[in-house]
Amino acid sequence: MLIENNLDNLIKGVMQHGPNILERCVANPIELEQYLTRIDQERLDYPVIKTEIDRNNWFIPNDYKQMDILDWLYNQCPTVEIKQRVTEELKLFAKNDMIPVLKTMKYVVDTLRKNNIVWGVGRGSSVSSYVLYLVGIHKIDSIKYNLPIEEFFKGDQNG
Protein backbone atom coordinates (compact mmCIF):
# COMPACT_ATOMS: atom_id res chain seq x y z
CA MET A 1 0.00 0.00 0.00
CA LEU A 2 2.95 2.30 0.69
CA ILE A 3 4.10 2.13 -2.96
CA GLU A 4 0.58 2.46 -4.40
CA ASN A 5 -0.21 5.57 -2.37
CA ASN A 6 3.16 7.18 -3.10
CA LEU A 7 3.91 6.14 -6.70
CA ASP A 8 3.98 9.77 -7.87
CA ASN A 9 6.49 10.66 -5.15
CA LEU A 10 8.58 7.58 -5.93
CA ILE A 11 8.77 8.52 -9.61
CA LYS A 12 9.58 12.13 -8.70
CA GLY A 13 12.35 10.89 -6.42
CA VAL A 14 13.87 8.71 -9.14
CA MET A 15 13.77 11.61 -11.60
CA GLN A 16 15.25 13.98 -9.02
CA HIS A 17 17.87 11.78 -7.35
CA GLY A 18 18.60 9.02 -9.87
CA PRO A 19 17.85 5.29 -10.05
CA ASN A 20 20.19 4.32 -7.21
CA ILE A 21 17.85 5.95 -4.71
CA LEU A 22 15.11 3.50 -5.69
CA GLU A 23 17.34 0.46 -5.37
CA ARG A 24 18.67 1.66 -2.00
CA CYS A 25 15.24 2.40 -0.57
CA VAL A 26 13.46 -0.75 -1.70
CA ALA A 27 15.97 -2.79 0.29
CA ASN A 28 14.86 -1.06 3.48
CA PRO A 29 11.10 -0.36 3.90
CA ILE A 30 11.67 2.09 6.77
CA GLU A 31 14.14 4.10 4.69
CA LEU A 32 11.70 4.00 1.77
CA GLU A 33 8.89 5.37 3.92
CA GLN A 34 11.14 8.15 5.26
CA TYR A 35 12.31 8.99 1.76
CA LEU A 36 8.77 9.15 0.36
CA THR A 37 7.71 11.39 3.25
CA ARG A 38 10.64 13.70 2.53
CA ILE A 39 9.80 13.88 -1.18
CA ASP A 40 6.18 14.67 -0.29
CA GLN A 41 7.30 17.45 2.07
CA GLU A 42 9.62 18.90 -0.58
CA ARG A 43 6.68 19.10 -2.93
CA LEU A 44 4.58 20.89 -0.32
CA ASP A 45 7.33 23.32 0.69
CA TYR A 46 8.14 24.56 -2.79
CA PRO A 47 5.70 26.05 -5.30
CA VAL A 48 5.39 24.09 -8.51
CA ILE A 49 6.60 26.22 -11.37
CA LYS A 50 5.36 25.33 -14.83
CA THR A 51 8.50 24.62 -16.83
CA GLU A 52 9.32 22.55 -19.85
CA ILE A 53 10.43 19.10 -18.67
CA ASP A 54 13.25 17.38 -20.53
CA ARG A 55 11.95 13.81 -20.28
CA ASN A 56 15.00 12.47 -22.15
CA ASN A 57 17.41 13.34 -19.32
CA TRP A 58 15.79 11.54 -16.41
CA PHE A 59 18.04 9.40 -14.24
CA ILE A 60 17.16 5.94 -15.46
CA PRO A 61 19.65 3.28 -16.59
CA ASN A 62 20.83 3.59 -20.20
CA ASP A 63 19.27 0.22 -21.07
CA TYR A 64 15.87 1.78 -20.42
CA LYS A 65 16.70 5.13 -22.04
CA GLN A 66 17.77 3.37 -25.22
CA MET A 67 15.14 0.62 -25.30
CA ASP A 68 12.63 0.57 -28.13
CA ILE A 69 9.56 0.72 -25.91
CA LEU A 70 7.23 0.72 -28.93
CA ASP A 71 8.71 -2.54 -30.22
CA TRP A 72 8.54 -4.02 -26.72
CA LEU A 73 4.86 -3.04 -26.39
CA TYR A 74 3.97 -4.45 -29.82
CA ASN A 75 5.64 -7.73 -28.87
CA GLN A 76 3.21 -7.94 -25.94
CA CYS A 77 0.18 -7.83 -28.28
CA PRO A 78 -1.24 -11.31 -28.94
CA THR A 79 -4.08 -10.18 -31.26
CA VAL A 80 -4.75 -7.66 -34.02
CA GLU A 81 -7.44 -6.01 -31.83
CA ILE A 82 -4.94 -5.44 -29.03
CA LYS A 83 -2.29 -4.15 -31.44
CA GLN A 84 -4.81 -1.64 -32.86
CA ARG A 85 -5.66 -0.43 -29.34
CA VAL A 86 -1.96 -0.09 -28.46
CA THR A 87 -1.34 1.84 -31.71
CA GLU A 88 -4.23 4.20 -30.90
CA GLU A 89 -2.89 4.79 -27.40
CA LEU A 90 0.72 5.22 -28.51
CA LYS A 91 -0.34 8.01 -30.87
CA LEU A 92 -1.74 9.85 -27.85
CA PHE A 93 1.32 9.09 -25.72
CA ALA A 94 3.59 10.41 -28.51
CA LYS A 95 1.42 13.48 -29.08
CA ASN A 96 1.73 14.30 -25.38
CA ASP A 97 5.50 13.60 -25.37
CA MET A 98 5.01 10.73 -22.92
CA ILE A 99 7.09 7.99 -24.57
CA PRO A 100 10.02 8.73 -22.19
CA VAL A 101 7.54 8.45 -19.31
CA LEU A 102 6.68 4.91 -20.46
CA LYS A 103 10.37 3.97 -20.37
CA THR A 104 10.69 5.39 -16.85
CA MET A 105 7.57 3.56 -15.69
CA LYS A 106 8.87 0.29 -17.15
CA TYR A 107 12.09 0.80 -15.18
CA VAL A 108 10.16 1.52 -11.96
CA VAL A 109 7.89 -1.53 -12.42
CA ASP A 110 10.81 -3.80 -13.28
CA THR A 111 12.69 -2.61 -10.18
CA LEU A 112 9.67 -3.20 -7.95
CA ARG A 113 9.24 -6.71 -9.38
CA LYS A 114 12.95 -7.49 -9.03
CA ASN A 115 12.74 -6.60 -5.35
CA ASN A 116 9.44 -8.47 -4.75
CA ILE A 117 7.58 -5.27 -3.84
CA VAL A 118 3.82 -5.39 -4.32
CA TRP A 119 1.92 -2.36 -5.54
CA GLY A 120 -1.76 -1.72 -6.11
CA VAL A 121 -4.01 -3.01 -8.86
CA GLY A 122 -4.56 0.51 -10.18
CA ARG A 123 -6.58 3.59 -9.56
CA GLY A 124 -8.06 6.56 -11.33
CA SER A 125 -8.07 7.11 -15.05
CA SER A 126 -4.78 5.26 -15.57
CA VAL A 127 -6.71 1.96 -15.64
CA SER A 128 -8.28 2.99 -18.96
CA SER A 129 -4.85 2.71 -20.62
CA TYR A 130 -4.03 -0.71 -22.03
CA VAL A 131 -0.43 0.41 -22.61
CA LEU A 132 -0.03 1.09 -18.87
CA TYR A 133 -1.53 -2.37 -18.25
CA LEU A 134 1.13 -3.92 -20.51
CA VAL A 135 3.91 -1.99 -18.76
CA GLY A 136 2.59 -3.27 -15.44
CA ILE A 137 1.48 -0.02 -13.82
CA HIS A 138 -1.89 -1.56 -13.04
CA LYS A 139 -3.66 -4.90 -13.41
CA ILE A 140 -6.93 -3.80 -15.06
CA ASP A 141 -7.42 -5.03 -18.64
CA SER A 142 -9.08 -1.99 -20.20
CA ILE A 143 -9.99 -3.93 -23.35
CA LYS A 144 -11.76 -6.65 -21.36
CA TYR A 145 -13.76 -4.04 -19.45
CA ASN A 146 -14.30 -1.78 -22.50
CA LEU A 147 -12.66 1.28 -20.90
CA PRO A 148 -12.05 4.08 -23.41
CA ILE A 149 -8.52 5.50 -23.63
CA GLU A 150 -10.04 8.99 -23.78
CA GLU A 151 -10.67 8.67 -20.04
CA PHE A 152 -6.89 8.63 -19.41
CA PHE A 153 -6.24 11.54 -21.79
CA LYS A 154 -9.36 13.49 -20.79
CA GLY A 155 -7.29 16.64 -20.31
CA ASP A 156 -6.21 16.36 -23.96
CA GLN A 157 -8.71 18.27 -26.10
CA ASN A 158 -8.06 16.02 -29.10
CA GLY A 159 -7.91 12.75 -27.12
Residues 6+ apart with CB under 8 A from 32: 2, 25, 26
pTM for the model stands at 0.66
Residue 119 is predicted with a pLDDT of 84
pLDDT above 60 (res 125)? yes
The domain spans of the chain are: 2-151
pLDDT at 42: 64
pLDDT value, residue 130: 96
Q: Is the per-residue pLDDT at 74 higher than 90? A: yes
DSSP result, 53-122: --GGG-S--HHHHHS-HHHHHHHT--SHHHHHHHHHHHHHHHHTT-HHHHHHHHHHHHHHHHTT----S-
Count the Cβ atoms, other than its own, within 10 Å of residue 100: 19
pLDDT of residue 91: 94
pLDDT of residue 46: 45
- In this prediction, residue 85 has a pLDDT band, given cuts at 50, 70 and 90, of very high
82-110 mean pLDDT: 93
Which residue from 88, 100, 114 is spatially nearest to 23, judged by alpha carbons?
A: 114
Question: Which pLDDT score, from 0 to 100, does residue 55 have?
Answer: 62
pLDDT band for position 159 (50/70/90)?
very low
Tens of pLDDT, residues 4-19: 556 666 666 666 666 6
The predicted pLDDT at position 76 comes to: 96
Q: What is the C-alpha to C-alpha distance for residues 138 and 122, in angstroms, rounded to an integer? A: 4
130 vs 42, 65, 112, CA distance in Å?
32, 22, 20
- Digit-coded pLDDT (tens) for 26-70: 666 677 777 777 766 665 444 444 556 666 667 789 899 899 999
pLDDT at 13: 67
Q: Which residue from 121, 94, 141 is spatially nearest to 7, judged by alpha carbons?
A: 121
Taking the C-alpha atoms of 8, 9, 14 and 20 in order, what is their torsion angle to the nearest 10 degrees? -130
